[in-house]
Amino acid sequence: MDPPNISASELERFCYCPLSWWLGRQTEVTSEQLQQGTARHGKMSTELHTIVNNETRSLAWERAALWFSLVATILALLGLFIFNQHLSRQQIWLSSLPSILWIGLIIYLVNRTGWQGREGAKRLEQVFAMASVVAVFIVLNILIIYEVPTELAEVAMVLSLFWLIGTSFALYNSLRSQRESEVKRRELHLDKKISYVGDDDSRLFRSEKYGLTGRPDYILEEGDELIPVELKSGRQPKGPLFSHIVQLAAYCLILNETGEKRVGRGVLKYGDVEFDIDFDDGLKQIVVDKLEEMRAAVSTGEVHRNHNRPGKCQSCSRRDKCPERLV
């Protein structure tokens, strides 16, 4: 029978004080400090989602601008062909060469632009792009063979102007969203890609091997490396606390189990102060050992305080029900 799953947040509470963790399993405890911490995490989650949404919108508007410019170019090219019907075929194709090269560049840029939608939608867009190119060449050859009223050229040019206006509108919205994202990033001192934001609706990461689950506050991405980040509210310690280090290490362990990307470190953030925590074999073993201790405690039902610090008991939200409290 597989061992029951343990969350990384439970592991943090166990490392803080096993007895406090045990009492928390029996009765749900709330305090003003816990409520403030939850509010801070909620605010940070909202700000991170704002950054991600702005960057997604910026990319979407950027792609829209490319498509608008593609349509505008095609319409302008058709108008140019109609105006130049009296020229020879070689002269017509030569005069249109810059526009044709621009169409090819737009198709290239559309394919190179990062895609965050479904794979099927991406393929559909690529098919549409290639079909547009083929259709343009067919229509242009038809225009060379058959005489077309020059009034149609004026219509094509006017429509091209409207699509250029659409291009400008899309670029404006893309730049505005990008600007809002950059401002928020500077406020939060973030310079890496945000690949995950942890909240109740986010993916729950799981390690089947160790029976461990968790949702980091957020995950940064740098090259082929993922960096889990854990936010801590309350007083700012002189250095990272052991229980917080173990919790962060648990996230590193879980993410490494997914095999998506390498996870060699994490970040503990206390206000504006950050601590980089390297995830090595020694820290991994601590996590595994603590998980075994927790399962043994659940099995035997025997749990005790693991410290002699009155200050720790004083700040514990389960102090009133603790039979081993120091204060």
Q: When comparing pLDDT for 133 and 214, which is higher?
A: 214
Asked if 173 and 57 touch (Cβ cutoff 8 Å), the reply is: yes
Q: How far, in Å, CA of 220 to CA of 229, rounded? A: 7
155-169, 285-299, 304-318: lowest mean pLDDT where? 304-318
Strands 265-270 and 6-7: unpaired
Q: What share of the chain is helix, strand, coil (3-state, %, to 5)?
A: 60, 10, 25
Domain boundaries, the chain: 6-30+193-321, 53-188
Beta-carbon count within 10 A of 278 CB: 11
Strands 265-270 and 273-278: antiparallel
pLDDT value for 204: 93
pLDDT value for 26: 75
pLDDT value for 256: 92
Please give the helix or strand (H or E) that residue 273 lies within, else none: strand 273-278
List residues bridging with 214 in a β-sheet: 205
Instruction: Specify which of 84-93, 121-130, 279-288 reaches the highest per-range mean pLDDT.
Output: 279-288
128: tokens are 């549409």
Instruction: Mention every residue, 6+ apart, whose C-beta is less than 8 A from residue 65.
Output: 167, 170, 171, 174
CATH code of domain 6-30+193-321 = 3.90.320
- pLDDT tens digits, residue range 218-259? 999 998 899 999 998 777 888 899 999 999 999 999 999 887
Indicate the pTM of the whole model.
Answer: 0.78
Sheet of 193-197, strand order: 193-197, 218-222, 225-232, 265-270, 273-278
pLDDT value for 105: 66
Averaged over 58-69, what is the pLDDT? 85
Q: Is the pLDDT of residue 118 over 60?
A: no
